[in-house]
Amino acid sequence: MAQHPFNEHIPSLRRYAIALLRDRSLADDLVQDTLERGLKKFSLFRAGSDLRAWLFTIMHNLFINQIPRTQHWLQNAPPEDIHSGEELAEEMVTARDFMQAVQMLSAEQRAIILLIGLEQLSYEQAAQVLDLPVGTIMSRLARARERLRQLINGEAGPQLRRVK
C-alpha cells in the first residue's frame, strides 16, 4: 500500500504548529485541520509545485483564522517544556531561552522566523506560504531577527505597533 504524499510532511507541520501554539494538543488539532483541508482541496494543488509549501500555506491560514480564539491563551500560557524529566544541559537552557524569546515576537515575526529558521524554507517558499513578496519577507525577517537579538540580550524595550 503506497503512502500518501502528505505523510512525509507531517513531522515538519507538527514541529511548526507546536512552535506557533506552544501546546501539543492544539498543535495536533492544527495539523489535523491542515491535513483535512489539504485532502479536501487536493484537486486545487498544482502538480509540480511545492507540496510542503502548499501545506504550510494551509496551516498558516488556519492559524491566522484561529488567532482570535487562541490569542488570550497564547499570551498567558507558559512555554511548553519539551525536555521535561531530563537534566537540562547548557545548550538546552539556551534553546529554551531562545524559544521563549521567539514566543515573545509578534505572530507575524514568529511565523517568518519559524518558517525560515526552523523549517528551512527558502525566501520564495516563505513568501508563497505567507502570500507576501520576497522583498517583504526579507525585510520582515531582518526586523524579526533584530527584535529576537534584543529579546535574547535583554535590550528589548517597548516595541512600537504598526497602525493599520
The pLDDT tens digits for 7-63 are 899 999 998 888 888 788 888 999 999 999 999 999 888 888 889 889 988 998 888
Grid cell, residue 80, equals 511548553
The span from the CA of 32 to the CA of 138, in Å, is 30
Spell out the residues 6+ positions from residue 39 whose beta carbon is closer than 8 angstroms to its own.
6
Question: Is the pTM here over 0.85, yes or no?
Answer: no
In a domain, 141, yes or no: yes
The residue range of the domain holding 140 is: 7-80+88-152
Residue 32 sits in a domain whose CATH number is 1.20.140.160
Q: What is the pLDDT of residues 52-111, one digit of tens each?
A: 889 988 998 888 777 655 554 445 555 544 444 444 344 444 556 777 788 888 888 888
The span from the CA of 158 to the CA of 156, in Å, is 7
Amino acid (1-letter code) at residue 11: P
The span from the CA of 122 to the CA of 50, in Å, is 11
